[in-house]
Structures are given as C-alpha cells and as structure tokens.
Amino acid sequence: MPTYTPPLRDMQFVIHEVLNATDELKALPKHADIDADTINAVLEEGGKFASEVTFPLNITGDTEGCKLDAKTHEVKTPTGFKDAYAKYVEGGWPALSCDPEYGGQGLPFVLNQCFYEMLNSANQAWTMYPGLSHGAYEALHAHGTDEQKKTYLPKLVSGEWTGTMCLTEPHCGTDLGLLRTKAEPQADGTYKLTGNKIFISAGEHDMTANIVHLVLARLPDAPQGSKGISLFVVPKYNVKADGSLGERNGIYCGGLEHKMGIHGNATAQLVLEGAVGSLVGEPNKGLAAMFVMMNAARLGVGNQSLGLTEVAYQNALAYAKDRLQMRALSGPKAKDKPADPIIVHPDVRKMLLTAKAYAEGGRAMAIYCTLLLDKELYHPDEKVRKESAEMVALLTPIVKAFLTDNGHISTNACMQVFGGHGFIKEWGMEQFVRDNRINMIYEGTNTIQSLDLLGRKILGNQGATLKKFGKLVAQLVEEEGVNEQMAEFINPVAYLGDQMTKFTTEIGFKAFQNPDEVGGAAVDYLRVAGHLVFGYFWARMAQVALREIAAGNTDPFYKAKLQTARFYFARLFPETATLMRTARSGVKVLLDTEEALA
Amino acid sequence: MPTYTPPLRDMQFVIHEVLNATDELKALPKHADIDADTINAVLEEGGKFASEVTFPLNITGDTEGCKLDAKTHEVKTPTGFKDAYAKYVEGGWPALSCDPEYGGQGLPFVLNQCFYEMLNSANQAWTMYPGLSHGAYEALHAHGTDEQKKTYLPKLVSGEWTGTMCLTEPHCGTDLGLLRTKAEPQADGTYKLTGNKIFISAGEHDMTANIVHLVLARLPDAPQGSKGISLFVVPKYNVKADGSLGERNGIYCGGLEHKMGIHGNATAQLVLEGAVGSLVGEPNKGLAAMFVMMNAARLGVGNQSLGLTEVAYQNALAYAKDRLQMRALSGPKAKDKPADPIIVHPDVRKMLLTAKAYAEGGRAMAIYCTLLLDKELYHPDEKVRKESAEMVALLTPIVKAFLTDNGHISTNACMQVFGGHGFIKEWGMEQFVRDNRINMIYEGTNTIQSLDLLGRKILGNQGATLKKFGKLVAQLVEEEGVNEQMAEFINPVAYLGDQMTKFTTEIGFKAFQNPDEVGGAAVDYLRVAGHLVFGYFWARMAQVALREIAAGNTDPFYKAKLQTARFYFARLFPETATLMRTARSGVKVLLDTEEALA
C-alpha cells in the first residue's frame, strides 16, 4: 500500500526562501496581516487532512467506483467519500481562499494552491468534488447577479453545496461553438434548459444536499457558433426565496462513464429536461464568463498532476531503497545482504530524479503563478495588477500542459521502478498513471493549450509577455553573472531564452504566410517554454541553496536541491535540443500526407 | 467500438519488396519450396482469424477478466476465449512454424511473426495463452530429453496443451539468482518441487486439458546465485507412459493478480507443493536453457507492442477523419459541414503519423529479425548461421525495448486523438495503452534490455556486431550515394552511425574506469540504436518507393511510404540529438545524489 507525506518543507522553501511570498503578500492591503507562521500552520493542518482523511480512500475509491441508481438518478460515491467530505466542510476548508463577504476566510491563493496539491497527491478523484466548486464559485463571483451571489456563494463557500461546469456535449468538446443545449426564456425571467451534457465531473453525488450546475446553452435567437452561447446556473434542487431547497429540478444523471481512471469521481451524463436556470452574465457572452472558470480549472488540472508526480515519487523512492535485486555494476554496495537495493542502479536513480525534478520545478512554478493571481486581483497598483494578469495568462497553458505531460512521464517512470509490481493494483502505482492520464485531456487538451500559448498568448501580442518573462531571466543573469558557481544553472537558460526569441520571430513570419505553421510547431514550442520557465526556477532554487551553503547552513536540504538542479539541467532540460529542431521542421511534412493518412 | 484490418499490404511490402524474403528463404534447404503465394495466403487466413475470431473478444475480455475458483484452483477465462482457442487449434495455427518431426508445419518464422503481430493487434491478452507455449516448445525442443520431447512437443505443437514460463518469485524478478523454489531428487529420477511463483502469464486456464509449466528451481546441492538454477518441466496433470493424463500434479493457482491491463490473461500465483517434475537440460544450467525461452519471449513482447501500435493507429485515423471539431487554422476545409474533421489539424496528424511511422518501422525491423532467425537455424553455411545469430542477439533487446517504448508513445498519442472519448472504456483506446504498459516491464524491464545491449552485446564484443550493422548502412550509402533523392533519408542515418561509433568507443573507455557509466548511459543509448536501425529501414523503404515511382508505378502506397519516411526523419529521428547529449552527460549526476534521494 502506498504512503504519503506532505512535502511541507519544500513548500515552505518555495514560499519563504525562493519567492519571499509573505513580503509580496503583505504589500497587498487585503493580506497585510499575513505572516509566515499562519502560512505554515495552515499548510501543516491541510497536509494532515490530505494524508489522514482522503489518502486512505484512494485505492478503495478506485476499486469501488461510483454507482448510479437508474431509478432515482442518484449516485453513490465510494465508501468513505461522503464522510471525508463532511470532515472537509467541518474543518472550514472550502472557505480557505474565498471572499469573506460570503463567509470565506480570505487567505491567499498560494495557500489554496498548496493545500490542493496535497489533496491531489492524496486522492485526485475525491478532490474533484470540492475542486469543481471553485470554478462555479469564481464564475458566479465574477459574473453573477446580486441575487445569484446571495443564493449560491455562501453555500459554495461553506461547502454545503458543490458546483459543476457543464460544457461538453456528445458532438462537441473542444469546439463549444457546436453546442445544442437550448434555453427558453420564461415569463418569470428564468429559463428552461433542454439538452444533453456529457463528461460532467462530480456531476452527481451523495455528498451534499444540492449541486450548483453552471451550464452553457443557447438562447432561441442566439447567433450560430461560439458567439451565441450563454451561461446559466441550474441547481439540482430549486432554491426558494428563503434559501431552503424547493422542488427537484429537471437535470438528471442519465449515466456514468466507465473510465481509465479517477473511478472515484462521478463522470456524469446529464440530461436537462426543461430544467429551470437563471442567466449568468450577459446573453451570448457565456464563453467569456465560462473562461473565468476555465482558467482556474486549467491551473487546477496542472496542480492535479503536480500532486500525482509528488506521491508517485515518494513511493518509488521508498521502494527503490527497500527492494533488493542484483548488484551494482561497480560491485556490491550492501555486502551483508543477498543483493543491493535497486537504488544503486543509475537508471533507477534517473527515473526517481526525473519525478523529483518535475515535482519540485512544478511546485515552484505553480506557487509563483498563484502568487501572481493574488497580485492580479488585490495589488493596489493597477499596472502591477495588469502585468500580473498578463503573466498568469501566459503561464496558465504551460502549467496545464507541461505539468500534466510531466506527470505522465513521472508517474510512468515511478511505476517502472516497481518492475512487475508496478503493474499490480494493490501497489497503487498504476493508479497514479491512470488518474494522471485524463489531466492531459480535459479542460482543453494539451494541444489546445499549446495553440493558446503560441497563437494567442505569444504571437497574439507580438511576444510582449514572453519578453517580460525574458526580463526575469535577464535580471537573474545580471545578479549572478559574476558568480562562477551559478554558471552551470544560468547559462543553459540564457541560451535557450535567446533561441526562443529568434524562433518566435521566425514562426511569426511563417505563420503570416501560413497560419497552419502555428499548429505544426505549437506542442513542441510549449514544451520548450516549459523548460525555459522550469530552468529559470531551478536556477533560482540553486541560487538560494548556494547562498545558504556559503553561509554555513549544513541542512542537507540545500545540497539535495543542488543535486536535483544539476540532474535537471543534465538530463531533462536537453530535451529542448530536439524540440527546437522538430518545432522548426515546419508543417509541410505534416500536411503533405494525403496518401499516408488516406 | 474499435475496428481492425490486417495490414497485409504493408507486410507483403516488407517481405517481398524490401527484404526479398522469399529468395532469402529459398536459399535455405528447409524452405526451398516456399513461394510468395503461400506466404500471402497464410497471412490472409491468419488475418481473418485475428480480426474475426479474437478481436471481437478484446474489450469483453478486458471487462470480464479471469475468475479463480478458490476451492478447485481452476480459472475461468473470459467468455469466448475458450471457443476461440478451440478454433485456433482446429485451424492448425499452433503448428505454423514448428518442427514437422513433432507435427509442425515447418513454415518460416517470418510467417509466425506476422501472424502474431495480427493476433496481438486483435487481442494481446488472449494471444498470450498460445504465445507462451512457444517458449516452452523452444526450451524443450532445444534442451529436452527424447522422452520429454516425445511426451510434450506433439501436444504443444497441436495446441492440445499450452506451456508457461515459471521464473519470478515474490522477492525476485530481474535477479533470478535469488530464487528459492526447491527441487528434491526422487528415487525414480523425477524431482519434487516446492515453492511459490508469481506473475505467471497464462499460468492457469480452462482452455486445454493440460498445462506444461517450465519451472526454474534449485537442487539441494546447488551453488548459490544464478549458477545454481535448474530447469524442470512440471505438467499440471502428470502424463502416463501412454501419453494419457494421470493424477493432478501438486502445482496450483493460489491467486490471480489484479492488474492495470491484459485482464483477459490469467496472471497466476502458482504454489508448488511437492509437484513432480523432470529435469530439462543439465543440473545448474537452467538459466542457459531458460534463455532459449527468454530470447523468443523478448522478440514476442516487442511484437505485442507492434500489434497494439498498429491497431491504435487504425482507430485513431478513422476517428480523426470522422470527428468534426473546429476549423483548420488556415481556413475551413469542409465548408459544407459545421466543422472540419480533426485530421486537418497539424498536431493531430503528428500524433497519427507518429504511430504509423513506429508501426511500419517496427514491422520492417521485426520481420528482418525473424528472417535472421530462420537463417540462424537453417542456413547451410555455418558462417551465415553464426553471423545471423549474432545479429539476432544484437537486435533482440532493441526489438523488445524500442518497440515497447514506441508502443507506449504511440498508443498514448492515438488515445489523445480521441480527446475525452479516449479516456472512456467503450472506445477501446485506453485499453491499448493499459495493455501495452506491461510490455515495457516483463521479460526483462527495458532498463535490463538496455544493459544487455550496451554492456553485453556491444561493449562485450568491442562493438564487433554493431560494426556489422554499420556495414549494412555503409552498403546502402554506397548504393545510393549518387542518388540525390535518397540524400534526405541516408544522410541522417550515416551521420548518426558515425556519432554512435565515436560514442561507443568513449563509453567503453569510461566504463573501464567506472562500470556504472554503462548503467548511466544504456537506456538513452538503446533508443539511439533503435533510431539507427529504424532510420536504416526507413531509408530502405524509401529506396523501394522511389524506385517504384521512378518506374511509373502510380500505386499511392509508395507515395504514402515516402511521406511517412519524411515525417519520421523530420519529427521522430531528431530525438537522437537529445539522447546523445544525455547519454554523454555521465553517471556522476545520477550517483552523486545521496542527499537528494535520502
């Protein structure tokens, strides 16, 4: 059976030592009172909840799955899921970073980020039930009427109800412009919705008295395509004026999907038969409102893979130290034992370090990104708010796609460390691989993320935001340019930054001639961008470690950090050599394939 | 539901047009009568069996799995598996490439290779039941006594009985030197075996009246480690002198594993309680005898992933043509439809072409390798037999590891083409990913394959066999050096060949100082070697295609082949740029990690 220890030390390292987040947050009037002790205390309690309450339900949840009662349309979640959710509500966890006006604790997003990383390590399927509520909360908070806010936000914040995002239909996932669900305006100002939604995560369950569905649909007079989509809030039970629950609404679970992973989460087919809803935001502007949810969800999905990478690493490390098999090529290391622990083998170390480097790099990037979210919303200076928003927009597709692809690489590597036992369910490793696999797909496939990055976020503003990230790299080079010890970490990043600048200009010209060139280069480009960002954070982490060691700090944590940074630059970062080459090879070789793909 | 069409045209292309296999086979007295029509007819019939009999059982087999009756220790295979096996026996398929002396049809291994590729595309879990028999057949054929051969071979050849390989124990997989199963000699010349085996594929089932287990165990006076292991044949039912079945032997299924994939195959825990067995080959020389099975099994595992790559590709291609979603970046292509089929998107094409290029390259390499097997055993010239054997030995770890890693990449890419639907069981794509995942692990993990390649097969003979493969490349360069059209295919292979020669010398020197250097470079080295071999075969396939086109052949097959070759060299082969760099980065960065991996 797998184990999980919350990586509190590493989170604190990123928050306090690398990003100096407490000072950054104190500069925001909203968080003027935050201090390191509060942050650490919340993380510690959050880690306890994840490791003690939801982690023990991970394998059983996968084995049991969810059960739909075809008569009542009610879904039974796996044993223990409901109780764990009750404890989650009791602990006040849903409110962590929510608006105090609706009962939230108003703590920084950085805390919610770290808490959710731990929840995802512990049990991704369970975590999606409360996780989806955040998107519904954000959409209503940003675009809801006062009445909608009053009706729904306090219940979402307390966790009494959960939320969902109802976008996909059988014939449309990526291309929401094709969606067919209809919303008919009623005399009383409400709408009646009719249609079929699929792939609705946490779409039905037995954890809460009500479920708040955010549903994309078309008004009768709506223009075709994506400009004719509106957003509605459709509760499972209608809500009376006094806030109590009324009649069952016409939105039912018609089936549950049988999936590769996240078995503990109900992936629902939802049938809307004249379900009563109210409009959120403006008519035909639903996609914009939906993107508030979607951007939060994309960061959330990257965080799911970060969590799985960490827990897979921890278990593979423990196994590699324990499992005796063969001798080191350079001669026996554990002479008193019948064989050496497999951690003596260089390739086993490579697999472990791959997961470790991706987990720690991902953690630094994700925390940095949520710190920017706090600044985007609450910094007193409008320019900082705007720049933070732009940087979050740039980093979001990278967090989503790079972290989930890295999760795929890492969970598979960690499973491989277990040999044949990795393939066996009881060890838990293959579940991490299966659960992670959806993260590369949902909330916009990783291909879609790459098009968003290269097409919209980079070429869309002539590389302006990318240049701002380049300035951070340049600043680090300036700070440490004379420090010989830093050269091995800074030089590759600086070199890659130059290459990317050139390539971005090139691809801009090529795309001007043929827009398909973007599609031929984007996926490789995103991975290069991911390494640029990771390289930058690994250099910054190495900088802190070198500084501490120079100051006489003997905590082995810093030596470990340097070793992992060296591994990252020697073994993972060089992937960019191939990616730059393939991204540059052009789209002709892909499109001139009529006969090959006949 | 997925579909499958046997790739007969592509097999015929490799056999007849690229490898000129009929003439090569005719040069062997054993196959003097073979002709292209026979080969094509057998492939066609084999394809029918795979697509019509076992393919329809693939998803249901995965869903149902195998059931163990704890009282009788009998295993029930999924619905239809037993009937399909009866048809397999009825069709004479088990005997295809077996020795006519024992009832075999004596056809070339090349045919069995192609037949098994199709069976693996259709249903890997089912195919493992007859597949494991081949290893037992080979071991007994090579090392059995006359009596053992007489008792077991005709039944294995007819398919009346199946065979297994019982190697792994709970505490030892890779390191068989640790195994503990005991064999006590009896007065009558037999042995009584006691111990526990795990992960025994096809270890118990309801398809045949008897199962022939080949079991590794230790004699009482055996030396420690791998030099004290002997091989025994232990039938499920003892066999009487007249060949009829006697008493139930003391070898029972104690449990079935719950696994990530290949659910239709029974992965058995086998308990030996004084099971009666007879010694195969010499005492304490069991590992050598076992390697006869193991080498066949390693080629077989590569072939499993080749099959999955092909079937995943076919289904992703069909889906990509059918699924309408978004418009091409360069403007609508299917203007009469609400959206374009997703095959217009460059990255979708990249994913499809990745699987196609790996399938077709893998097919060429695997067929080449089995043609060498035919020569190794039956060529009249001893020198050719010896050289063929050496080349098979060199290529075996590459077929096993490169083809299974490529299967991982390809099945995941093809699943990704399906978006959210790829994660749903009914589409069948996620099963290809899960089933393929074990291929990277069993019969020696891919790390073990890489150590076998670099340590034993290459450095072990100072690169002599690798140089022989290099001569094939040089020969192609000589043939086509003046052909400008071939430059794009030949130059990268020739360049990589030079790089590998240099690097092999370097790593030889480094390993002399520190043997761990081999372990730090081997996995990357194997992938480079894989691309050298694939590059060579893609160049040869392009050569044939160019020649046909120049001769006025308008079959679009040849244009398709050129397009796929161009894709391979532009998008997959350049991975070697990174791999050469990481393989060269040395082992220090992996081993100097005490604190990081504490």
Q: Write phi, then psi, for A385 (nearest 5 degrees).
A: -60, -45
Closest CA to A193 of A289, A72, A280: A280
Q: Looking at residue B291, what is its pLDDT?
A: 86
| Separation of alpha carbons B324 and B216, rounded Å | 55
The ipTM estimated for the assembled molecules is: 0.98
> Encoding tokens for residue B398?
């590459």
Q: Looking at residue A291, what is its pLDDT?
A: 85
| Separation of alpha carbons B537 and B564, rounded Å | 12
With the C-alpha atoms ordered B180, A346, A573, A311, is the resulting torsion angle positive or negative? positive
Residue type, A555: D
Q: Write phi, then psi, for A105 (nearest 5 degrees).
A: -90, -15
| Separation of alpha carbons A173 and A124, rounded Å | 22
Closest CA to B493 of B518, B464, B524, B472: B472
Three-state SS letters, A218-274: ECCCCCCHHHHEEEEEEECEEECCCCCEEEECCEEEEEECCECCCCCCCEEEEEEEE
A185 pairs with which residues across the strands? A191
Q: Hey, which residues 107-166 in chain A have their CB within 8 Å of chain B?
A: none
| Mean pLDDT for the stretch of residues B334-341 | 97
Superfamily name and number for B8-67+77-143: Acyl-CoA dehydrogenase/oxidase, N-terminal domain (1.10.540.10)
Per the prediction, chain A carries an average pLDDT of 97
Dump pLDDT digits (tens) for A112-133: 999 999 999 999 999 999 999 9
Report residue A515's pLDDT band, with 50, 70 and 90 as the boundaries: very high
Dump pLDDT digits (tens) for B210-243: 999 999 999 999 999 999 999 999 999 999 999 9
Q: Looking at residue A70, what is its pLDDT?
A: 94
Dump pLDDT digits (tens) for A550-590: 999 999 999 999 999 999 999 999 999 999 999 999 999 99
Q: Which residues of A touch B343 (CB under 8 A)?
A: 597
Measured between alpha carbons, how far is residue A371 from residues A23, A386, B20, B45, B450 in Å? Answer: 11, 14, 64, 64, 44
Give the Cβ contact number of residue A207 at 10 Å.
Answer: 22
Q: Looking at residue A289, what is its pLDDT?
A: 86
Whether residue A8 lies within 8 A of chain B, CB to CB, comes out as no
Report residue A481's pLDDT band, with 50, 70 and 90 as the boundaries: confident
- How many angstroms away from the CA of B191 is the closest CA of chain A? 26
B195 pairs with which residues across the strands? B272
3 state DSSP class of B579: helix
Closest CA to B314 of B447, B70, B122, B493: B122
Superfamily name and number for A8-67+75-143: Acyl-CoA dehydrogenase/oxidase, N-terminal domain (1.10.540.10)
Domain spanning A162-283: CATH 3.40.50.2300: no
Q: Identify each DSSP E strand in B495-570 by its residue range.
A: none
Provide long-range contacts, Cβ within 8 A and 24+ apart, for A459-464: A459/A504, A459/A507, A459/A508, A459/A511, A459/A518, A462/A508, A463/A501, A463/A504, A463/A505, A463/A508, A464/A390
* B64 belongs to the catalytic site: no
- How many angstroms away from the CA of B598 is the closest CA of chain A? 8
With the C-alpha atoms ordered B190, B194, B197, B200, is the resulting torsion angle positive or negative? positive
Place of tokens 């659960």: A435
Provide long-range contacts, Cβ within 8 A and 24+ apart, for A167-172: A167/A197, A167/A216, A167/A290, A168/A197, A168/A198, A168/A199, A168/A200, A168/B420, A169/A195, A169/A196, A169/A197, A169/A198, A170/A196, A170/A198, A171/B324, A172/B325
Residue type, B406: N
Nearest-CB residue to A585 (from B441, B570, B582): B570
Report residue B293's pLDDT band, with 50, 70 and 90 as the boundaries: confident
Q: Which residues of B touch A416 (CB under 8 A)?
A: 440-441, 445-447
Dump pLDDT digits (tens) for B250-286: 999 999 999 999 999 999 999 999 999 999 999 999 9
Q: Looking at residue B38, what is its pLDDT?
A: 96
With the C-alpha atoms ordered B565, B570, B572, B577, is the resulting torsion angle positive or negative? positive
| Mean pLDDT for the stretch of residues A482-503 | 95
Q: What top-level class would CATH report for the domain B162-282? A: mainly beta
Q: Looking at residue A103, what is its pLDDT?
A: 97
Q: Identify each DSSP E strand in A61-170 by its residue range.
A: 67-69, 74-76, 161-166
> Encoding tokens for residue B463?
């690169």
Contact A255, A167 (CB under 8 A): no
Catalytic residue, candidates B204, B360, B376, B443 = B443
Q: Note the Cα A328 to chain centre separation in Å.
A: 38
Whether residue B243 lies within 8 A of chain A, CB to CB, comes out as no
Q: Which residues of A touch B260 (CB under 8 A)?
A: 423-425, 430, 433-434
Q: Write phi, then psi, for B343 (nearest 5 degrees).
A: -65, -15
- How many angstroms away from the CA of B450 is the closest CA of chain A? 10
Dump pLDDT digits (tens) for A304-358: 999 999 999 999 999 999 999 999 999 999 999 999 999 999 999 999 999 999 9
| Separation of alpha carbons A580 and A589, rounded Å | 16
Nearest chain A Cα to B555, which residue? A595
Contact A441, A405 (CB under 8 A): no
- How many angstroms away from the CA of A389 is the closest CA of chain B? 27
Q: Looking at residue B345, what is its pLDDT?
A: 98
| Separation of alpha carbons B311 and B118, rounded Å | 9
CB contact under 8 A, A596 and B560: yes
DSSP state, residue B568 = I
Per the prediction, chain B carries an average pLDDT of 97
Report residue A414's pLDDT band, with 50, 70 and 90 as the boundaries: very high
A292 has a pLDDT exceeding 90: no
Q: Which residues of B touch A177 (CB under 8 A)?
A: 339
Q: Hey, which residues 435-454 in chain B have their CB within 8 Å of chain A?
A: 437-438, 440-442, 445-447, 450-451
